[in-house]
Amino acid sequence: MDIQFEPLYPEIPLIKPPLRQRLRTRIAATYRYDTFIWQAALFGLWAVVLAAFTLTALGLPTGRGTGFDVLVFAAGGTLAMALSANVLAVLLALAGLKLPRLFTGAWLYSAGAVLTIFRYSGARWDVSAAAAVFAACAGTLAGLAAGFLFKPRAAWSRRLAGFLLPAAACAALVYLPLHSGGSEPLAAKPAAGPAAAISAGNPGLPGAVSYRSFTYGSGTDLHRSEFGEDAGLRSVSVDGSKILTNWSDARTSFWGFDSKSLPLNGRVWMPEGSGPFPLILIVHGNHLMEDYSDEGYAYLGELLASRGFIAISVDENFFNYSAWTGIPGNDMKARAWLLLKHLQQISQFAADSSTPFYNKVDFDRIGLIGHSRGGQAVAMAADPLRWFQRGDSLEDLDKYHIVSVAAIAPTDKKVDNNLARLSNVNYFSLQGAQDGDVSDFYGDRQYSRATFDKGSSAFKATLYVDGANHSQFNTSWGHYDASFPTGILLSRSRIMNEESQRQIAKVYVSAFMEATLHGKTEYTELFRDYRSGLDWLPATSYFSRYEDGHLTLLADYEEDYNVNTIRGGGTAEASGVKLSEEQVRDRENSVKTERGAVLEWQAPSGADSTDTEVPAYKLTLRTSGNSSQFNYALSHAAGLSFSMANLNYQLEEDKDTAAAKVPDLTLELESSDGAKARLPLSEFMTAEPLPVSKFTINPWLDDKIEDGKYQQHTETIFQTYRLDFDRFTEQNPAFQPSKLSSITFYLNGGPGKIMLSTIGVYAE
Task: Considering only residues 707 and 12, tell me which one the structure prediction assigns the higher pLDDT.
Answer: 707
Give me the DSSP letters along 413-428.
--BTTB----BS-EEE
Burial zone of 323 (CB within 10 Å; 0-12 exposed, 13-18 middle, 19+ buried): middle
Q: Are 194 and 175 in contact (CB under 8 A)?
A: no
Give the residue from 548, 572, 595 where a domain finishes.
548
Q: What is the average pLDDT across 27-45?
A: 84
What SS3 state is found at 744? strand
Query: Is 437 found in the same domain as 563?
Result: no
* pLDDT classification of 552: cutoffs 50, 70, 90: very high
Q: What is the average pLDDT across 505-528?
A: 97
Say how many domains are in the chain: 3
Q: Are 319 and 331 in contact (CB under 8 A)?
A: yes
pLDDT score of 470: 96
The answer to whether position 398 is within a domain reads: yes
Q: What is the average pLDDT across 702-729?
A: 91
* pLDDT classification of 689: cutoffs 50, 70, 90: confident
pLDDT score of 752: 92
User: What whole-number distance in Å separates Cα of residue 284 and Cα of residue 295?
Assistant: 9
pLDDT score of 168: 55
The answer to whether position 203 is within a domain reads: no
Give me the DSSP letters along 668-685.
EEEETTS-EEEEEGGGT-
Query: Is 529 found in the same domain as 555?
Result: no
Give the residue from 121, 156, 179 where a domain finishes.
179
**pLDDT for 246 beyond 70:** yes
Pairing mode, if any, of strands 426-432 and 459-465?
parallel
Query: Is 156 found in the same domain as 52?
Result: yes
User: What whole-number distance in Å separates Cα of residue 501 and Cα of residue 431?
Assistant: 11
pLDDT score of 517: 98
Lowest mean pLDDT among 14-18, 108-112, 443-447: 14-18
Query: Is 454 found in the same domain as 511?
Result: yes
Task: Considering only residues 234 and 182, tell me which one the structure prediction assigns the higher pLDDT.
Answer: 234
Mean pLDDT over the full length of the chain: 88
pLDDT score of 161: 52
**pLDDT for 1 beyond 50:** no
- As beta bridge partners, residue 580 has 598
Q: Are 436 and 259 in contact (CB under 8 A)?
A: no
In terms of pTM, does the model score above 0.85? yes
Query: Is 451 found in the same domain as 313?
Result: yes
Q: What is the CATH number of the domain that holds 703?
A: 2.60.120.430
Q: What is the average pLDDT across 427-439?
A: 96
Query: Is 490 found in the same domain as 376?
Result: yes
pLDDT score of 34: 81
User: What whole-number distance in Å separates Cα of residue 577 and Cα of residue 416?
Assistant: 42
The answer to whether position 13 is within a domain reads: no
Alpha helices, H only, 351-418: 373-381
User: What whole-number distance in Å separates Cα of residue 289 and Cα of residue 583?
Assistant: 37
Query: Is 233 found in the same domain as 303?
Result: yes
Q: What is the average pLDDT across 177-183?
A: 47
pLDDT score of 191: 46
pLDDT score of 18: 74
pLDDT score of 717: 93
pLDDT score of 13: 57
Nearest to 473 by CA among 509, 424, 444, 419: 509
Q: Tell me: the pLDDT tens digits for 348-394?
A: 999 999 999 999 999 999 999 999 999 999 999 999 999 998 776 78
**pLDDT for 156 beyond 50:** no
**pLDDT for 153 beyond 80:** no
Query: Is 687 found in the same domain as 577?
Result: yes
Task: Considering only residues 429 and 57, tell me which one the structure prediction assigns the higher pLDDT.
Answer: 429
**pLDDT for 207 beyond 50:** yes
Q: Are 691 and 714 in contact (CB under 8 A)?
A: yes
* pLDDT classification of 742: cutoffs 50, 70, 90: very high
Query: Is 385 found in the same domain as 270?
Result: yes
Segments forming the whole domain that contains residue 166: 19-179
Q: What is the CATH number of the domain that holds 494?
A: 3.40.50.1820
Q: Are 297 and 313 in contact (CB under 8 A)?
A: yes
* pLDDT classification of 120: cutoffs 50, 70, 90: confident
pLDDT score of 641: 96
Amino acid at 755: M
Q: Are 409 and 438 in contact (CB under 8 A)?
A: yes
Percent of residues in the chain assigned helix, strand, coil, to nearest 5: 35, 20, 40
pLDDT score of 649: 87
What one-character DSSP code corresponds to residue 18?
P
Amino acid at 191: A
pLDDT score of 603: 84
Nearest to 611 by CA among 723, 731, 747: 747
pLDDT score of 8: 53
CA dihedral (296, 427, 372, 689) positive or negative: negative
Q: Are 645 and 448 in contact (CB under 8 A)?
A: no
pLDDT score of 651: 87
**pLDDT for 20 beyond 60:** yes
The answer to whether position 308 is within a domain reads: yes
Give the residue from 179, 200, 220 where a domain finishes.
179
Query: Is 720 found in the same domain as 582?
Result: yes
The answer to whether position 12 is within a domain reads: no
Q: Tell me: the pLDDT tens digits for 466-479?
A: 999 999 999 999 88
**pLDDT for 154 beyond 80:** no
Q: Are 532 and 197 in contact (CB under 8 A)?
A: yes
Give the whole-number percent of the chain exceeding pLDDT 70.
89
The answer to whether position 492 is within a domain reads: yes
Q: Are 460 and 547 in contact (CB under 8 A)?
A: yes
pLDDT score of 690: 87
- As beta bridge partners, residue 582 has 596
Q: Are 681 and 644 in contact (CB under 8 A)?
A: no
User: What whole-number distance in Å separates Cα of residue 339 and Cα of residue 345?
Assistant: 10
Q: Which residues contact 721 (CB under 8 A, 6 or more apart)?
A: 641, 642, 643, 644, 681, 684, 685
Q: What is the average pLDDT across 126-152?
A: 83
Q: Are 469 and 432 in contact (CB under 8 A)?
A: yes
Q: What is the average pLDDT across 564-584?
A: 91
Q: Tell me: the pLDDT tens digits for 584-614?
A: 988 888 888 899 999 999 987 654 445 558 9
**pLDDT for 615 beyond 90:** yes
The answer to whether position 29 is within a domain reads: yes
Give me the DSSP letters along 151-185.
--SSHHHHHHHHHHHHHHHHHHHHHHHHHPPPPPP
Query: Is 543 found in the same domain as 558?
Result: no
Q: Tell me: the pLDDT tens digits for 56-75?
A: 988 888 888 889 999 999 99
Residues making up the chain, counted from first to last:
764
Q: How many CB atoms lie within 10 A of CB 632?
A: 13
Burial zone of 672 (CB within 10 Å; 0-12 exposed, 13-18 middle, 19+ buried): middle
- As beta bridge partners, residue 311 has 269, 280
Q: Are 389 and 457 in contact (CB under 8 A)?
A: no
Q: Tell me: the pLDDT tens digits for 395-416?
A: 888 899 999 999 999 999 999 9
Q: What is the average pLDDT across 116-145?
A: 88
Query: Is 556 found in the same domain as 544?
Result: no
Nearest to 411 by CA among 403, 419, 399: 419
Give the whole-number percent of the chain exceeding pLDDT 90.
61
The answer to whether position 9 is within a domain reads: no
pLDDT score of 10: 55
Amino acid at 253: S
**Contacts by 124-129, CB closer than 8 A, 24 or more apart:** 124/704, 124/705, 126/704, 127/489, 127/701, 127/704, 127/705
